[in-house]
Amino acid sequence: MPNDPVPDPASDSPTAHGAGPCARHGIAPWCRRVRQRLTPERWAHVVRVAELAERIARANRFTEDELRDTVLAAVLHDAARDLEDDRLAELAPPERPEERAHPMILHGRAARALAASWGIDAPRVLGAIEGHVAGVAPDDRVGTAVYVADVSEPGRGVNADVRELALHDLRSAYATAVRRKVDHLRACGKPVHPTTLEVHDSLVPDRS
Ligand SMILES: [Fe+2]
């Protein structure tokens, strides 16, 4: 038999994206673990988020530690996104009426619980995983990079301006993304999570 290269599962590229974030040292095992829990479409989203989060981190001169935490949190952020409502509630018991009414809000906290159960203990990574749904403190660089990458990755077809802005000014991009989310939820008549409102009001105190 010819010398066809045998793919190494440890460096298995999740999509046709070349090396990609999952080729980073120490990230591949997490990619495999998350990938098997998600639909192919959701996994493709996760890879795009991780790729964009890495670009944002580099553009904003993150340290190597911040960069690694950003990619890891991006890979893990939607680990619970395809779970049933009752499993979400098991992993992240609802604490507020809107969380009971809309269990999908729990998928960030549920992913955090999953990651913690898998041995992830870095508060910065766990905070970014949880915070990708309701928001993080504006000075949390890792958390804001993941949040912005999640809402503006190219597959979503929206927020291209936020994506571009994040490559120059992450904080402004985050403020725009949070404001847009709140405006959108209000326009749909959907409840805004108190954490999101808190972040929103701290970023744009003059808006009512
Ligand atoms: Fe996501």
The string of DSSP codes covering 36-62 is TTS-HHHHHHHHHHHHHHHHHHHHTT-
- Ligand 1 centroid to Cα of residue 110, in Å, is 13
Residue extents of the structural domains in the chain: 17-203
- Ligand 1 centroid to Cα of residue 43, in Å, is 9
Residue 150 reports pLDDT greater than 70? yes
Q: What is the mean pLDDT of residues 8-31?
A: 68
- Ligand 1 centroid to Cα of residue 46, in Å, is 6
Q: What is the pLDDT of residue 33?
A: 96
For 37-60, the pLDDT digits (tens) are 999 999 999 999 999 999 999 999
Residue 3 reports pLDDT greater than 70? no
Helices (H) and strands (E) in the chain, counts: 11, 0
Q: What is the pLDDT of residue 191?
A: 83
Q: What is the pLDDT of residue 11?
A: 38
Q: What is the pTM of this model?
A: 0.88
What DSSP designation does 106 have? G
- Ligand 1 centroid to Cα of residue 71, in Å, is 13
Contact (CB, 8 A) for 115 and 129 = yes
- Ligand 1 centroid to Cα of residue 162, in Å, is 15
Q: List the Cα angle 18/16/160 in 5-degree steps.
A: 90
Q: What is the pLDDT of residue 13?
A: 39
Joined tokens for residue 135: 């928001």
- Ligand 1 centroid to Cα of residue 50, in Å, is 10
Question: Which residue would you say has higher pLDDT here, 207 or 156?
Answer: 156
- Ligand 1 centroid to Cα of residue 1, in Å, is 42
- Ligand 1 centroid to Cα of residue 25, in Å, is 22
- Ligand 1 centroid to Cα of residue 9, in Å, is 24
> For domain 17-203, which CATH number applies: 3.30.1120.10, 1.10.357.10, 3.10.20.590, 1.10.3210.10?
1.10.3210.10
Joined tokens for residue 189: 């008549």
Contact (CB, 8 A) for 178 and 199 = yes
